[in-house]
Amino acid sequence: MSKIPRAATVMLLRDIEGEPQLFLVRRTAKSAFAPDAYVFPGGMVDLADTLPALHARIDGTAARETGALFRETRSDALPTDVEHPGALERASIVAAALRELFEESGILMAFPRDDAAIPPNAQQREEWRAALRSGRASFLDILEKGDLVAAGSSLALFSHWVTPPAEPRRYDTYFFMAIAPPKQDASADRSETHDGRWISAREALAEYRSGKLNLVYPTVKHLERLLDCEDNSIAMRLALTKPVVTIQPTMHPDRGFVMPAQLENVW
């Protein structure tokens, strides 16, 4: 198991035609990670995410399926000190991605196990979300109560980033992409995050460069990769077909995080 905490982030696309919009949440000023910055929903893998009973409630978590999903490679130009995750860890990272997405955006990527059953309505989802945030229920509890299967197969692995050793807090983070289900509204959780908003990569980068939007380096680089995507299908195709090269940026005394020029836009 990796000594650096594993984490999962979801680049959530709005279910609309035309230019893709992504959901960003603003971390609170007291947040240990990226305080007061806009980020994609996500967080660390918890112990509860590792339970086989939870993985049994998530499609796409079989060893063969996650082995194909986690297709990252390493570059000699950018060495890293993290280990490849095994089958149990891969399933746990997928579970964390879905759980954190529900906690931080309210989007529940799940469907009834019985095809004839009625999916949970907005009020049910919000009650479950509050219970999850408060610790009164686990993600497994929610899936069992609603007799739901979480849609791990809806996630496309986009990238793998590792915080450099010079940073006091390090994370081994997998970035996924998914399209939000229709008839679900995203919102910040008003606890760890606030000011959730849908915004295109083009608009977000313009606001960032004008000083209106606080973004961290990995978010900026991911938004830059999506600038040429004209719609969701192109963005998802990029996520499904692009190489996934593990990125551990180096630190420059003046410019902060940097990566070798030969890896720009090929990770």
Q: Choose among 261, 49, 77: nearest CA to 174.
A: 49
The token pair at 109 is 């990527």
DSSP-assigned letters across all residues of 189-216: -SSSEEEEEEE-HHHHHHHHHTTSS-B-
β-pairing, 110-112 with 148-150?
antiparallel
Mark residue 265 as left, alpha or beta (left: phi above 0; alpha: psi -120 to 50; beta: remaining): left
Report whether 107 contacts 165 (CB < 8 A). no
Which CATH architecture is the domain 6-263 placed in? Answer: Alpha-Beta Complex (3.90)
pLDDT value for 72: 92
Residue 190 has pLDDT above 80, yes or no: no
pLDDT value for 197: 96
Domain ranges for the chain, please list them: 6-263
pLDDT value for 96: 99
Residue 219 has pLDDT above 60, yes or no: yes
pLDDT in tens, 159-179: 999 998 888 889 999 999 999
pLDDT value for 32: 62
pLDDT in tens, 133-144: 999 999 999 999
pLDDT in tens, 27-56: 887 766 777 899 999 999 999 999 999 999
pLDDT in tens, 81-96: 888 999 999 999 999 9
Question: What pTM was estimated for this model as a whole?
Answer: 0.94
